[in-house]
Amino acid sequence: MKTARNYLLTASLLIVVGLSISCATQRQHHNSSVVDYLYPGKSDPIENAAIPVLSLPIKVGIAFVPGSEQTRTGFTTNFSAPMTPPLPEKEKIALMKEIGDNFKKYPFVKSIELIPSAYLSPGGSFTNLDQLRTMFGIDVIALLSYDQVQFTDEGMLSMSYWTLAGAYVVRGEKDDTNTMLDAAVFHIQSRKMLFRAPGISQVKGSATPVNLSEQLRTDSTASFHDAAKDLVVNLQEQLELFQEKVKSSPEEFKVVHKPGSTGGGGMDAFWLILVSGMGAYTLWLRKNHN
């Protein structure tokens, strides 16, 4: 009887432990934040922006703001899938190129510089941006930040991303990869944010426990690229709105044209003297002809 009770107790214990492992809620999270980069240690970020003078055509920089450490929450065991690595530099460059290529077509964009992460220091703020402005000769910078969460269980989990314009909350489902890319475009000299746009992606989970870590990595990359595509569409919309705003609010934005961007076919005294000579000869010929 006692033996039977021991067996029952052991079995119950194993079931409880097993259930704990299989039902444990896990979440992998890596992110970077524009707010943390520009306003480190400030709970209420206020920056006095000057009136931006947009000198057309502009040189635009694109950079990912430094990321924070990746975290994993929930119950983990030795059998848990290893954490997917944060966004590698190669992927960052590929994403920046993907976004930048869509803005080269605009005539007011002179060039686009892809700025490697090594040039951005964590919490570097506008001092760091001023350095980038000098180093790369850029006028405007699109600061990209991201937030990616990978859920490995169902629950009330959600991803909350705090941007300069407010918080975004995205619900998470089992094995989903939720990604949010955010682009905030700043005029560096005036410290003014010109416009911003988000890009959101949700890749539905299809992993089995066998290939979980590999699938999570694949989903992570795919989700970043999907979010980049969404970001491009939203950025273009915001850019259109911004152009209208610049036209309708000249007191808020000053637009000037760089030397060489406006040109004219101009005749000068040389041409006038030359053709005047020809004209005078023609008149003289006419007089003699008559």
Which positions lie near other proteins, rule CB under 8 A?
56-57, 105-108, 110, 256-272, 274-279, 281-282, 285-286, 289
Distance CA 104, CA 29 (A): 33
Nearest approach, Cβ of 231 to other proteins (angstroms)?
22
Whats the size of the chain, residue-wise?
290
By CB neighbour count within 10 A (0-12 exposed, 13-18 middle, 19+ buried), where does 88 fall? exposed
> Which of 13/280 has CB closer to other proteins?
280
DSSP secondary structure letters along 15-62: HHHHHHHHH--EEEEEEB-HHHHHSTT-SS--------EEEESEEEEE
* CA–CA gap between residue 54 and residue 60 (Å, rounded): 11
Nearer to other proteins, 92 or 110 (CB): 110
Least distance CB 165 / other proteins (angstroms):
27
Q: Is 177 exposed, middle or buried (0-12, 13-18, 19+ CB in 10 A)?
A: buried
- CA distance linking residue 288 with residue 217, whole number of Å: 91
- C-beta of 239: minimal distance to other proteins in Å? 12
Closer residue to other proteins, CB minimum distance, 5 or 287:
287
Kindly calculate the radius of gyration of the chain based on its CA atoms and give it in whole angstroms: 29
CB of 238 to other proteins, least distance (A): 17
Between 106 and 126, whose beta carbon lies closer to other proteins? 106
Residue 46 beta carbon to other proteins: minimum distance, rounded to whole angstroms: 33
Our CB check for other proteins shows the closer of 42 and 257 to be 257
Q: How far is the CB of 236 from other proteins (least distance, A)?
A: 13
